[in-house]
A and B are shown apart, each in its own frame.
Chain A
């Protein structure tokens, strides 16, 4: 046992010496390898963080939202639907939601205007999200003027700011009174944007949704479960443009690594031939190359993962920001939730290390089993 361990240590020593004889090439490979893993791990950590945060934060979103559709488009909900839904068994509460969008040409941003149920606001008061406060330079007591679709100008006083910790859900929100909302959008008193329903027994959600669809064929119920599933599928890093961008880099690296590992240079072939000639066995040569592959691939994985961890959780995935922000002017400032999926990490480790080891060992085996004299020539 001790002899076997000592043997491996000597092999590792020889492997390191061999790697250090070609420092530029091996350091370059290590850096590129680490960079590819860094990009993959960053995308993986960031999307996982976002998915977990969405799952936790939206767990208390409305149980059922009922939207009215007209010619396939979202239409306003008449008030009499409220009364007609009341008798449906299982529905404990139903009320109308008032919310809409407003484009502010001053900062080229879209705001979400909403009437809150948890507070009473005066007709000229608003509470704004941190994103709006930042982009318009507004604080409590300031005034915000918005022009409605009918050309009228409305001036609102900022009565408060929504906390910056909740920017992920409230960055673009403007809360205002129902009277102000209806006047601003010229929305009739007997219309709502949509309806929100609460049910007594969560297990009956689908049944109640089915009853709603039958009773109101021009509506579409959206369940909380569907909301959560949407965000689970969101940012799936296996799909979408992020993966396509990374796929190009991964392919280029795979070709580079395969070329490096499988196409032994003349120097490497001579080295193997000399080692064979002085008595090294094929198994020892393969073990040497195995250690070389393990050192490079595992080292690259650790460096790439650590850099990705710092990038995502200490620098808020700053490198991805230009891609992720899109055209959003009010992109929220938030700190990704550090939820690391060990299975994903293990998968990344496996696919970082195993293929490279295989790509390294196979050509060495071929060379090592050949005649040393032929190899050295």
Chain B
């Protein structure tokens, strides 16, 4: 009858690791709070509006500040910047109208 016992041990171990991961996540979040606060302070002091994730184009760098013509900044039939343009979903109104 060792098989069910072995299964129980394996599943017990995996489940414990899963629970531990949730605990670790919570602890790490708490530890990162000073870092987040420092970043938030910098955002406030420098009056920043966007994350510096994609710097290849205006509308990918400053998502919230871009005008509606930014994707076509290079020329009228310019392709959007890949893959950042694909990762950012189009405005809700546009999606709903389709």
Contacts and interface: CB of A to CB of B under 8 A. Distances in A.
B67 A13 contact: no
A175 B36 contact: no
A60 B87 contact: no
B89 A239 contact: yes
Interface string B46-62: 11111111111110111
A340 interface: yes
B68 A72 contact: yes
Contacts of A85: none
Interface core residue of B29, B38, B42, B92 (most chain A CB under 10 Å): B42
B4 A167 contact: no
A231 B88 CA distance: 9
Contacts of B87: 234-235, 240-242, 324, 326
B67 A72 contact: yes
Interface string B1-44: 10110010011001101100110111011001001101111111
B18 to A, nearest CB: 6
A101 interface: yes
A331 B53 contact: yes
Contact of A240 (B35, B48, B64, B89): B89
Interface core residue of A16, A74, A235, A303 (most chain B CB under 10 Å): A74
Contacts of B7: 12, 16, 295
B48 A326 contact: no
A196 interface: yes
A73 B63 contact: no
B65 A67 contact: yes
Contact of A114 (B28, B46, B53, B92): B46
Contacts of A67: 65, 67
Interface string A252-291: 0000000000000000000000000000000000000000
Nearest to B27: A338
A166 interface: yes
Nearest to A95: B47
B86 A56 contact: no
A247 interface: no
Interface in A304-339: 305-306, 309, 313, 323-324, 326-332, 335, 337-339
B28 A313 contact: yes
A326 B44 contact: no
Contact of B84 (A56, A62, A328, A329): A328
B40 A60 contact: yes
Contacts of B41: 60
A313 B89 CA distance: 25
Interface residues of B, number: 60
Given A326-B54, A331-B53, A309 B4 contact: no
Interface in A172-189: 172-173, 175
B63 A74 contact: no
A123 B80 CA distance: 37
B45 interface: yes
B69 interface: yes
Interface core residue of B24, B41, B87 (most chain A CB under 10 Å): B87
A169 B43 contact: yes
Contacts of A12: 3-4, 7
A240 B49 contact: no
Contact of A340 (B3, B25, B51, B81): B25
Contact of A338 (B17, B29, B36): B29
A305 B18 contact: yes
Contact of B88 (A101, A227, A234, A335): A234
B25 A129 contact: no
A74 B55 CA distance: 18
Contact of A326 (B29, B32, B60, B69): B60
Interface of B: 1, 3-4, 7, 10-11, 14-15, 17-18, 21-22, 24-26, 28-29, 32, 35-36, 38-58, 60-69, 81-84, 86-89, 92
Interface of A: 9, 12-13, 16-17, 50, 53-54, 56-62, 65, 67, 69, 72-74, 97, 101, 109-112, 114, 116-118, 129, 131, 162-163, 165-173, 175, 194, 196, 222, 226-227, 230-231, 233-236, 239-242, 295, 298-299, 302-303, 305-306, 309, 313, 323-324, 326-332, 335, 337-340, 342
